Structures are given as structure tokens and as C-alpha cells.
Amino acid sequence: MNMATPAETSPAPVQPGDWRSFLLETAAITLIFALYVATLGPEVNEPHYLCKAKHYWNPDWLKNDFFLSAPGAHYTFYWTLGSLTLLFPLPVVAWIGRLISWLALAAAWRYLSFTLIPRRLCSIATAAIWLATMHYGHLAGEWLVGGVEGKTFAYPFVLLALALALRNRWNPAWVSLGGASAFHILVGGWSVVALFVAWVLIGRKSTPLYPMLTGLMGGGLISLLGLVPALLLTAGLPDEMQTEAHQLYVFYRLPHHLVVHRMDSLRQLCFATVTAGWAIFAWSTRRQRPLQLINAFVIGSLLIAVCGVVIDQVFCYWLGNFGLAAKLLRFYWFRLSDVAVPLGLAFSVGWRLFVVTEEDRRTLVRRASLAIVLAATTIALGIRIQSRLASPMPPADDMASVSDYNQWLAMCRWIRTNTPANAAFLTPLNQGTFKWNAQRSEVVTHKDVPQEASSLLGWKERRWRTMRYERLSSEQVRLLSRDYGFGYVVVDTHSRPDFAGWDFPRVYPLDENSDSPYEIFRVQ
């Protein structure tokens, strides 16, 4: 990449000490994030993460739940936000976590945006462009703004690291990525790789490797908080069990995140379009020195994604070695590019719109392009916000195909009031909010898949044995009850209209004329 020419120069700096502009723009970006989510929740992953965090601090809470009792991987998240579950109900902890993560992400974005393009209010526009292109242009389903989980605290550290690297403060940048890795080892780890690529392409001209060793070592030590739990997930298991668990995780449970040939063709097209748009704008701003490092980071993320594509094609198609393919593909090769490419596009577009000469400022084309980009971004986010506001149920229930949300909540409230706290339930496989709403243990769900290898194999067995349990005989259900320790069974008669019932008592609904699709049986 070339140095800036006189025709295209870096923007004149604005005083960095204007804390009022910083607070105003951070608040505005946070508001955009809040409108983008636009729901009371729970979000898709919040029951998964926050119930696990609550169980970590209080092992007696739902102690019979299979998923909660399995080893976890996100202990930094449990140690920090998870501790609030001792003081507040889960929905309150979710909102506290959302606000903290949104504010942190907004502040980090403003700091990064102002470092690149020191123009007031520019960070609000670039944040909106980033959010819109990330939402509509992702490949593998990665997101930043939504419910609270480990990665929502990791990405602010990534943005901070980019801003520090732009200021040639590489040691603090590597330490910041250590913080990202502590909260989410893959987010932080892949960001280290991509930023190292950026250093090789751009940064080494100003900072040699040796002076960075302190930051690399410090960040590496911090990252152990996320790395060690991840390594323990497969420690001590025979190779054949690890291979089976990896294949189950990659090719059965999460191929839409991990296996490119199993990803939706529309998603592939959208991501290719966003990538092409970034490439065009990156080329048009290639002489701008501040953008060179950002675009090199994007290149690093795309190289990681290309490695994932090569692994997929070589081991799945050419060699047919699905065991080795699963062992490698489980590392989410496409996660970072879903975020980094829209980031690079947002800043390249922002530069073309906000960093202009006086002659450019007077041209009709410049004004029209600014209006078109901002209008398209506003419309795109508006469509998203409207669809969320119009949704009849929170995303976690909507994604889990709960057939009647109000009746589902009514049943869960009845369970909390009328069943023992240590009771365990066999529940519909595709729902994901029973623990959140009913606060009782359950046998297995499709969403709550453990990450530890032996528990993952146990999840497979439970899922296979309880699939379509409404079609089993009373004696078969009793056998499952003895094996898995549940005393109640929930049936959704809307999804199973052919359900004939069992010979043990129905305890819910009490009214024989109730229109609730949910029935509860006590196993005897």
C-alpha cells in the first residue's frame, strides 16, 4: 500500500479532549444498538449463557439439569457478569449485561472511528453502516449487537486494539486482544492473527517485532483465562471419542456456522457482495495511510476465512476425511470476517463521505452519494427494527418455534408455583427457554449443546432416545424417567396433534376445557 499523496491526505485532527462530543456520540450509537435489538428478550443465546452462569455461582440451582452440569468454556463471563445472578433475576442481569456491552462497544467504536476519521458525528454514521452491512451481509451468522454473552464483551477489546494499533501503540493493543481472548478465545485469537497480518503488511514499517514482545507476552498470559478452559474440553478423552464429538458438533449441530458448503447460498451471495463493495472502496482509498492498517486487518480476516474454505473443500471433498475436517473446522474460521469486512467497508465509505476537499464539498455528486448511503442505511436498519417490534414473541422463543407464546409463559409460571424446585422435566426438543421461564431442570434440548466432548456425546444419546417422545408408550417413558431422572413430561399438542396420552396423570391444565396446547404429565 502506498503513502498518501498531496491530493489525498489525512484529515486535519480535531482536539481529542472534547469529552462532550465523545459522550454524545457514544450515547447515540448505544441508542442505535438498543433500537436495533428492540425487544424485551430473552435474546437467542441469553438463556444458554446466563442460566449456565447462574448455575456456576449456585450449583444447587437446577442441579439435575444435564446441560448446566456439563463443564463450560466461558469462565471469564461467569466470573464477571455471572456474579450478578446472585443478586438479580435473570432478565435483570440480561439487561444490565446488554447495557454494559452496548456502551462498551459504542465507546470503543467512537474511539476507533475518531482515530481514523476525526470528524464529529462521523462515528454515528459509520456505526450505522457497519451494523446494517453486518446484519444483511454476514456469511456464517456472526453478530455483535443483541443479547449478552461472552463475545459481546470480547469485541469492544478488539475495536480498542485496532484504535491503539492505529496510534502505533502496539503493546497495549496486544494486551487488549488478550482481554478479548479471556472473554471469548476464538474472537480474541482470530483477531490476534488478523492484526498480526496487518502488522506484517503495514505496522512493521514503524514498529519492529522485538519491542512488541512485552505486549504479546502480556496479552498471551491474559488469554489463558479463555484458552485453558477451552483446552480442557477435550482433555483426557480417547481419539475416537474426540473425533465423534467433533463431527457431531461441526456437521450435525452447527454446520451453518462452521461448514461453508452447508451455508445458505443467499448468505454466500450477500457476503460476496459486501466483500466486493469493501474491495472497491478500499482500493479507492488505498493511499490513505490510516485506512491501510484497517484494510490489512480485513485482509487478515479474509485469509482466515479462505483457510476455512480450503479445509472444507480438501478434507470433505477431495480426501473424504470428515474426522480431520471436523477437528479443524470447529474453530469458526468464518467468524471474524463477518465482522471485519463490514467494518472495513464502513470506514472506507465513511472516509469517502466525510474526508473531502473544499472543492469536493461543493459537488453535487458528493452530496448525492452522502444522501444515498445514509438513506439506504436508515431504511435497512428501519426494516430490521420494524420487524423486531412487530414480532409477537422474544427472539429466543421465536427461533425455538414455541407454538403459543402466552400459553407457554402461563405453563412455565404454573410449574414455578406448583412443582418442587428440584423437579426435572422432559420438554419439547426445539424450545430453548424452559429453564429461563420455568426455572426447572430438563433432560435435553437442541439449543443447549455442551461443548465438552464427553458431555456432547451424552447430549447425542439423550437427544436420540427422547426424539418424538410423544409417540412412546407409557412404559417406554417410565424407562426414560428411570434413566434420566425426570418426573414430569411436557407435551405440545399443536406440534403433535396425533398425541394419544399415557396412563399416568395429567396435572396441567387443570381445566378440562382449557385451550392451552401444553399438557404436563407426572410420571408414575
In a domain, 14, yes or no: no
The pLDDT, as a whole number, for residue 8 is 42
In a domain, 11, yes or no: no
The pLDDT, as a whole number, for residue 369 is 72
In a domain, 7, yes or no: no
In a domain, 19, yes or no: no
> What is the residue-wise DSSP string for 343-387?
HHHHHHHHHHHHS--HHHHT-HHHHHHHHHHHHHHHHHHHHHHHH
Rounded to whole angstroms, how far apart are CA atoms 285 and 307?
27
Structural Rg of the chain based on CA atoms: 25
Pairing of strands 506-508, 424-426: unpaired
Rounded to whole angstroms, how far apart are CA atoms 29 and 31?
5
Helix 335-354 / helix 265-284 crossing angle, nearest 10 deg: 40
The pLDDT, as a whole number, for residue 12 is 43
The pLDDT, as a whole number, for residue 360 is 55
Mean pLDDT split into 10-residue runs, the chain, 524 residues: 40 58 96 89 92 97 96 94 96 96 98 93 95 96 93 98 96 98 97 97 91 96 96 87 94 95 95 95 88 97 98 94 95 97 95 67 66 87 89 82 88 97 95 95 95 94 94 95 97 83 93 90 94
In a domain, 18, yes or no: no
Q: Which three cell numbers stand for residue 258?
A: 462452521
Q: Are 456 and 245 in contact (CB under 8 A)?
A: yes
In a domain, 4, yes or no: no
The pLDDT, as a whole number, for residue 496 is 78
Q: What is the total count of domains within the chain?
A: 2
Burial class (CB in 10 A: 0-12, 13-18, 19+), 235: exposed
Q: Are 124 and 31 in contact (CB under 8 A)?
A: no
Same domain, 54 and 177: yes
> What is the residue-wise DSSP string for 425-481?
EE--TT---HHHHH--EES--SS---SSHHHHHHHHHHHHHHTTGGGS-HHHHHHHH
Name the domain boundary from 390, 408, 426.
390
Q: Are 449 and 458 in contact (CB under 8 A)?
A: no
Residue from 81, 209, 104, 204 nearest 158 by CA: 104
Write the CB contacts of 420 (distance below 8 Å, at least 6 apart in sequence).
none
Q: Are 326 and 249 in contact (CB under 8 A)?
A: yes
Same domain, 330 and 452: no
Name the domain boundary from 344, 361, 390.
390
Same domain, 76 and 168: yes
Same domain, 116 and 196: yes
Name the domain boundary from 344, 371, 390.
390
Same domain, 340 and 433: no
Burial class (CB in 10 A: 0-12, 13-18, 19+), 505: exposed
Backbone angles phi, psi at 426, to 5 degrees: -95, 120
Domain holding 411, by residue range, is 398-522
Backbone angles phi, psi at 521, to 5 degrees: -120, 140
Q: For the full predicted model, state whether its pTM sits above 0.85.
A: yes
The pLDDT, as a whole number, for residue 11 is 46
Same domain, 165 and 70: yes
Same domain, 354 and 323: yes
At residue 5, the 3 state secondary structure works out as strand
Work out the end-to-end distance of the chain between its first and last CA atoms, rounded to an integer number of angstroms. 73
